[in-house]
Structure 1
Amino acid sequence: MASLHPFLLPLLFLLINPFSARVTLADFVETVCSRTKEHDFCVPALLSDARSSTADLPTLLQVTIDLVVANATDTSSHISSLISTSTDPVLKSYLDFCLTQYQSIIIETDKARRDFNEKRYGTIKLDLNTIGLLSTDCTNEFGNDPPRVSPIWNRNVNIFGLEQIGEVISVLLVGSS
């Protein structure tokens, strides 16, 4: 008999216990968010999408991927706007680098969506990990010589936080299959 990962037991209990009718979505989201590094980011991020009110793990993963797409698309447009208005050539070069990174993030989210449609949750974890690395590279670009304050630091943190949520859900899905 295959053994279950210890972190899946509470999740399975919530899903199949006939006495858990009083279990709320917040409990289910809590199961996911308690495994992330940024709990205070995770809960409101997942609950920001109306689909989360009836979400199972695959739906929460889809919500997370969609949030990454929306954030990356918005950030890419914001970076383009910053490039067009900046007079600092160093800042422009850093933003150009980040624009390239965000274009790559959008490509990776397309891969994640295809993998989601084919239920390749382990591969989605890799797609999301790449997204996290791309946003981190953008953040690190502003530390180069000469350093600049990143005007998109919070946006990079959001992408990284969403990537972490998606990785946790992917691991839970791989462990339950």
Structure 2
Amino acid sequence: MASPISCISILIIPLLVTSLFYDVSNADRPLLEKVCKQTFDHDFCMSVLLSDPEGLTNVLYRLGLVSTSVSLKIISTTNGEIGNVLIGVTDPVDRTRISNCQTDIDDVYDKMQLARNAAGSQSYWEEARILASAKQKIIDCEKQFESSPKHASPISDHTYKITKLINISVVIINMLLSS
């Protein structure tokens, strides 16, 4: 007679092996493709939207919520990375500019929280207004490095990433407003 452990093993092992090959995402690939082909960076967009642990990207409305929620996580991480860049900068003009940008990005984070709330209440025009304001903060940050004395921004990779995140949300809003 087989032991209870071997009987359980016979049942559980096939389930475990099957789960390795099961895609738990509810993502609607054609919808993601439709959104991402309209953004600055298709691959970045796909990775952002597919990073949702709940896989709730099968409806455009929820996709917008995913976009802003993921943006909040990435902006928070990016702001920390900018803080690390600031530690290594000795030029006082660049330190001031980066500090100003860090403040701007803190504001962008707050604006993205407001945008998520607007998306949650399906106030898309309000969300669009908030996102435009957030994008302006990033533009203001970058413009500091263009003024005299002109320097290349040491954080442009970070600010460009935030710009791409905002762009994903704007694309989704435009799709929602046109449907």
State TM-score, norm by structure 1: 0.76
Tell me if structure 2 keeps the 8 A contact 1:71–1:155: no
Q: Give the match for residue 111 of structure 2.
A: 108
The alignment status of 1:167 with 2:161, answered yes or no, reads: no
Quote the sequence identity (%): 27
The structure 1 residue matched to 2:134, chosen from 117, 131, 136, is 131
How many residues are aligned here? 153
Q: 1:70 maps to what in 2?
A: 73
Aligned to 2:93: 90
1:70-104 C-alpha deviation (Å, 9 max, x unpaired): 22212222233333442210110110110121121
Report if the CA contact (8 A) 1:125-1:167 is conserved: yes
State whether residues 47 and 53 of structure 1, in contact with CA within 8 Å, keep that contact through their aligned partners in structure 2. Answer: no
Give 1:36 deviation, angstroms.
2.3
Which residue number corresponds to residue 20 of structure 2? none
Contact 2:108 2:137 in 1 (8 A): yes
Distance in 1 (alpha carbons) for counterparts of 2:70 and 2:175 = 19
Does 1:158 pair with 2:161? yes
Partner of 1:33: 36
Unpaired stretches in structure 1, ≥5 consecutive residues: 1-23
Higher deviation after alignment, 48-57 or 85-94: 48-57
In structure 2, stretches of 5+ residues that fail to align are 1-26
User: 1: distance between equivalents of 2:55 and 2:163?
Assistant: 20
Determine the structure 1 residue equivalent to 2:145: 142
> What TM-score, normalized by structure 2, do the two folds share?
0.75
Alignment of 1:35-74 (within 5 A): 35-52=38-55, 54-74=57-77
Please, which of 104, 119, 124 is the counterpart of residue 122 of structure 2? 119
Closer, same or farther: CA 127–140 of 1 in aligned 2, 3 Å:
same
What is the Cα deviation at residue 54 of structure 1?
4.4
Structure 1 residue 53: Cα displacement: 6.0
Q: Is the 8 A contact 1:64 1:165 kept in 2?
A: yes
Bigger Cα Rg: 2
C-alpha displacement of 1:44: 2.4
Rounded Cα–Cα distance in structure 1 between residues aligned with 2:28 and 2:117 = 27
1:163 CA drift (Å): 0.8
Relative contact order, CA 8 A, sep 6+: which one is greater? 1
